């Protein structure tokens, strides 16, 4: 999926190096409409991850010959030096152009030497980075202090230092802050390296195509849910379910272990409800199930939300998750309009039963929250909103002296 059309004159040239769900794809398409050259490089070799992406302009594929892989990677990197002014990376430990070149440069020239070169004479390239959750720049110790419930205590990766540890998380935070002139975050745990002059809360980066996720989405016959119209459908989903979930208890940070018995309890009490649960379904298909939901439920301890809730809002659905007051205060300071308008319904494990009962019993309330959610999502999380914001951010970066 490649769009080779380019405006005759560009405001600037940005390469999104590595995928960030579907966000960089839709943001790049919207930036093109504003006069930018904006391309997406997919270097991810994991086939199971491709269901989370929407498109790419370039994809690096590697074979068995290690040196040939390095040369292919190096060829793309060398061409990029003359083709782009801004390099926008995403995801913890992924500030590179692909594993072959990254490993080769690390062995021979030092860690992240290929990124450091971008900033040196005569290149003077601008480096931007987008964070992706709780382990990005924040130690496990710091994150576990957030209350009222320690999210780390229900996380399967808590005792896996190859994924999350104080040493690993802080080392990455230090590297990313030193390399990137501008770090984009979405208000996850404002502690440690997430509190720095070059770290900015920019919710517009985490954007969605508002035409793909629309309240009047036409549902294919083979995706119709087998429930009557008067059944209140409570939607819950988990990406990478097996790797994030304890097999027996179903415990994970998405709180599946809370929602399963909770919906059973509501059924026993006479409520006509069903839990609509999916995992590891391509999002292009998943939205058909989301669109049929009456309520979307998500994390009850983490303190913020991700793509599932943003998609729910864009579809005009009331979404339930925990909004940590301290993080809301930080958002209110940095992006006050976002905090004041946010329609997400906050709940904790102790309050979610009453919150859900209130929504189940009041369809008019669900409709009102859903309408506000759609309006909010288009304003803050559409690709067009992201393009307007990054048109400003990138332009200001290019005006800075090296």
Predicted pLDDT at 75: 94
- Fold adopted by 221-381: Rossmann fold (3.40.50)
Predicted pLDDT at 271: 97
pLDDT > 90? residue 113:
yes
Which has the closest alpha carbon to 130: 235, 205, 242, 71? 205
| Residues 332, 321: Cα–Cα separation, whole Å | 18
Q: What percent of the chain has pLDDT over 70?
A: 97
What confidence tens digit (pLDDT) does each residue in 344-375 have?
999 999 999 999 999 999 999 999 999 999 99
Cα 319-154-164 angle, rounded to 5 deg: 105
What confidence tens digit (pLDDT) does each residue in 63-109 have?
889 999 999 999 999 999 999 999 999 999 999 999 999 999 999 99
Q: Distance of alpha carbon 305 from its chain centroid, rounded?
A: 9
Side-chain half-sphere CA neighbours of 197 within 13 A? 2
Phi/psi at 36 (nearest 5 deg)? -95, 150
Helix axes 307-314 and 363-381, enclosed angle (nearest 10): 110
Predicted pLDDT at 390: 98
pLDDT > 90? residue 46:
no
The answer to whether the beta carbons of residues 304 and 186 sit under 8 Å apart is yes
Domain ranges in the chain with CATH number 3.40.50.2000: 221-381
| Residues 216, 315: Cα–Cα separation, whole Å | 8
pLDDT > 60? residue 207:
yes
pLDDT > 90? residue 240:
no
Chain position carrying tokens 């900033």? 119
Task: Kindly indicate the confidence band of residue 281, based on its pLDDT and cuts at 50, 70 and 90.
Answer: confident
The answer to whether the beta carbons of residues 160 and 311 sit under 8 Å apart is no
Q: Strands, DSSP E only, in 98-220?
A: 126-130, 182-185, 199-201
Decide the pairing of beta strands 319-321 and 295-297: parallel
What confidence tens digit (pLDDT) does each residue in 97-108 have?
999 999 999 999
pLDDT > 70? residue 9:
no
pLDDT > 80? residue 122:
no
Mean pLDDT across 222-250 = 89
Mean pLDDT across 212-220 = 94
Higher-confidence residue: 5 or 257? Answer: 257
Phi/psi at 139 (nearest 5 deg)? -70, 155
Q: Can you give the three-state secondary structure of 204-267, one letter per residue?
A: HHCCECCCCCCCCCCCCHHHCCCCCCCCEEEEEEECCHHHHCCCCCCCCCCCHHHHHHHHHHHH
Predicted pLDDT at 343: 98
Q: Strands, DSSP E only, in 322-383?
A: 345-346
Mean pLDDT across 150-171 = 93
Residues with Cβ within 8 Å of residue 55, at least 6 apart in sequence: 1, 2, 22, 25, 40
Q: Which CATH number fits domain 13-207+383-399: 1.10.3470, 3.40.50, 2.60.40, 3.40.1350?
A: 3.40.50
Task: Kindly indicate the confidence band of residue 7, based on its pLDDT and cuts at 50, 70 and 90.
Answer: very low
Predicted pLDDT at 384: 98
Predicted pLDDT at 136: 94
Q: How close are the terminal C-alpha atoms of the chain, in Å? A: 35
pLDDT > 70? residue 402:
no
The answer to whether the beta carbons of residues 376 and 314 sit under 8 Å apart is no
Q: Count of residues for the chain?
A: 402
Average pLDDT, the chain: 92
pLDDT > 50? residue 6:
no
pLDDT > 80? residue 123:
no
Helix (H) or strand (E) holding 14, with range, is: strand 13-17
Residues with Cβ within 8 Å of residue 32, at least 6 apart in sequence: 3, 5, 6, 7, 38
Q: Distance of alpha carbon 151 from its chain centroid, rounded?
A: 18
Residues 251, 241, 129, 377, CA torsion sign: negative
Which has the closest alpha carbon to 172: 91, 77, 253, 86? 91
The answer to whether the beta carbons of residues 176 and 154 sit under 8 Å apart is no
Predicted pLDDT at 377: 98
Predicted pLDDT at 33: 96
Residues with Cβ within 8 Å of residue 225, at least 6 apart in sequence: 233, 276, 289, 292
């Amino acid at each position: 999926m490649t769009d080779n059309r380019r405006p005759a004159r560009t405001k600037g040239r940005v390469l999104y190096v590595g995928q960030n769900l579907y966000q960089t794809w839709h943001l790049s398409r919207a930036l093109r409409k504003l006069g930018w050259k904006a391309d997406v490089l997919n270097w991810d070799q994991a086939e199971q991850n491709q269901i989370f992406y929407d498109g790419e302009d370039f994809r690096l594929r590697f074979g068995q010959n290690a040196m040939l892989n390095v040369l292919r990677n190096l060829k793309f990197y060398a061409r990029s030096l003359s083709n782009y002014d801004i390099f926008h990376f995403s995801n913890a430990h992924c500030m590179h152009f692909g594993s072959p070149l990254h490993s080769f440069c690390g062995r021979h020239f030092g860690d992240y030497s290929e990124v450091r070169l971008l900033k040196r004479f005569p290149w003077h390239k601008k480096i931007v980075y987008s964070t992706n959750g709780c382990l990005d720049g924040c130690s496990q110790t710091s994150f576990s202090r957030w209350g009222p419930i320690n999210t780390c205590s229900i996380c399967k990766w808590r005792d896996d230092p190859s994924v999350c540890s104080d040493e690993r998380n802080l080392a990455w935070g230090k590297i990313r802050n030193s390399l990137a002139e501008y770090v984009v975050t979405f208000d996850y745990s404002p502690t440690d390296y997430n509190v720095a002059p070059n770290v900015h809360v920019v919710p517009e980066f985490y954007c969605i195509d508002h035409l793909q996720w629309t309240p009047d989405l036409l549902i294919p016959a083979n995706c119709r849910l087998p429930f009557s119209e008067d059944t209140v459908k409570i939607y819950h989903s988990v990406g990478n379910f097996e790797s994030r979930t304890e097999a027996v208890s179903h415990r994970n940070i998405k709180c599946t272990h809370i929602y399963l018995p909770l919906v059973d309890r509501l059924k026993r009490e006479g409520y006509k409800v069903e839990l609509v649960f999916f995992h590891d379904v391509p999002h292009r298909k998943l939205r058909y199930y989301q669109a049929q939901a009456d309520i979307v439920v998500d994390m009850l301890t983490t303190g913020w939300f991700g793509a599932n809730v943003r998609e729910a809002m864009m579809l005009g659905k009331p979404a339930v998750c925990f909004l940590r007051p301290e993080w809301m205060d930080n958002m209110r300071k940095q992006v006050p309009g976002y905090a004041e308008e946010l329609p997400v319904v906050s709940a904790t494990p102790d309050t979610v039963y009453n919150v859900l009962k209130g929504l189940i019993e009041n369809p008019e309330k669900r409709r009102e929250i859903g309408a506000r959610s759609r309006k909010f999502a288009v304003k803050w999380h559409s690709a067009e909103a992201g393009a307007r914001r990054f048109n400003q951010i990138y332009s200001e970066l290019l005006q800075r002296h090296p």
